[in-house]
Amino acid sequence: MLRKSLVVVVSCLLFFSFVPFGTAHIVSPVDTNAQSTTKSIYNWMTHLPNRTENRLLSGAFGGYSNDTFSMNQAITVKNATGQTPSIYACDYSRGWLDTSNVLDSINYNCNNDLIDHWKKGGFVQVSLHLSNPIYSSGNLNTKITNEQYKRILDSSTTEGKRFESMLSKVADGLNQLKNERVPVLFRPLHEMNGEWFWWGLPSYNENNSERIDLYKKLYQKVFTYMKDTRGLNNLIWVYSPDANRDYKTSFYPGSNYVDIVGLDAYVNDAHSINGYSEMLSLGKPFAFTEIGPQTTNGTYDYSNFINAIQQKYPQAVYFLAWDDKWSPASNLGANNLYNNSWTINRGEIWNGSSLTPIVE
């Protein structure tokens, strides 16, 4: 169907003066000192499932900063569908990179494009594939023991100091966005219930209660550093386990540390994603924080994904499709995904000087 299009002229002043939502029920982010723009956007997102259409923010991954990141994915989606994704994502950290200095694996040069995307009426997400602090650099996928995990949590150790130096550089990038009053969907330490990142489980579906507790402490450490030490009050905190592993809610660090819960769902059948009800039980807005096909031969039909959201996962507030061979533009059904009546693309978020109306 032909989507409506809002012509939006955005100035920097727009982001300093949101129009109040009257008597609508206000839902606040976990950071009580959040910037007014961040508060307004989070509240607006929580009400999206109450709409009959224009209720699901579209998204796309733009790549890793100072490596693969560019606006090409947004352009490719626009060429294929006529729409620009509402959420555009960058990853600050290339944790597989073996360098003489671990901080060289962290880069936030993508910020200029993220700021531009925001000023044109979009939202942004930042994720992190952090290097393993047990080593001087790299080793994203190298497993660690629980004793090594404890050393990362200990600020007095070499590993703990290395981790904190990495957080400091990440915070520098997020602070640049804060100064531009750009709200950020911030997704640290994702897919923790998988066995492929150093912060996750040591082995496949291992019910390791000590590791789970250590993860919670690590997430909380990141939260406390960003919020309290660095004063980054522009962050919307996203918790996102993997849909294809168990223990999705076991790692949950607590309702005081999370704004949005999501699933990273790489599946061939979108109607059989595991964990939706389990994640809703946490009482937070839900999103598909990464999506893509398991079989990457270009035959995945994203029409099935948007149909599955409407039929089985209607509380979802956004989806973020991965790039390259997982991208909707590299598969089938991209036009149906981004032009569905439920989908909100860039240019359909702002209405004059305010967000489009909330529906109770």
Inter-residue contact 289 to 238 (CB < 8 Å): yes
Q: Report the percent of the chain where pLDDT is more than 90.
A: 90
Q: Report the percent of the chain where pLDDT is more than 70.
A: 93
> Which pLDDT does position 5 carry in this prediction?
40
Placement of tokens 């996750």 in the chain: 200
Q: What does residue 210 show for φ and ψ, rounded to 5 degrees?
A: -65, -45
SS3 call for 12 = helix
pLDDT tens per residue, range 219-238: 999 999 999 999 999 999 99
Q: Which residue has the higher pLDDT, 281 or 22?
A: 281
Torsion of CA 271, 276, 277, 280, to 10 degrees: -150
Catalytic residue among 147, 159, 164, 191: 191
pLDDT-derived band at 21 (thresholds 50, 70, 90) equals very low
Task: Tell me what the pLDDT averaged over the chain comes to.
Answer: 93
Catalytic residue among 206, 290, 348, 360: 290
Q: How far apart are CA 323 and CA 314, in angstroms?
A: 24
pLDDT at 149 over 50: yes
pLDDT tens per residue, range 245-300: 999 999 999 999 999 999 999 999 999 999 999 999 999 999 999 999 999 999 99
Our answer to whether residue 191 is catalytic in this structure is yes
Our answer to whether residue 278 is catalytic in this structure is no
pLDDT tens per residue, range 161-211: 999 999 999 999 999 999 999 999 999 999 999 999 999 999 999 999 999
Rounded to two decimals, the pTM is 0.93
What is the topology classification, in CATH, of domain 20-355? TIM Barrel (3.20.20)
> Which pLDDT does position 352 carry in this prediction?
63
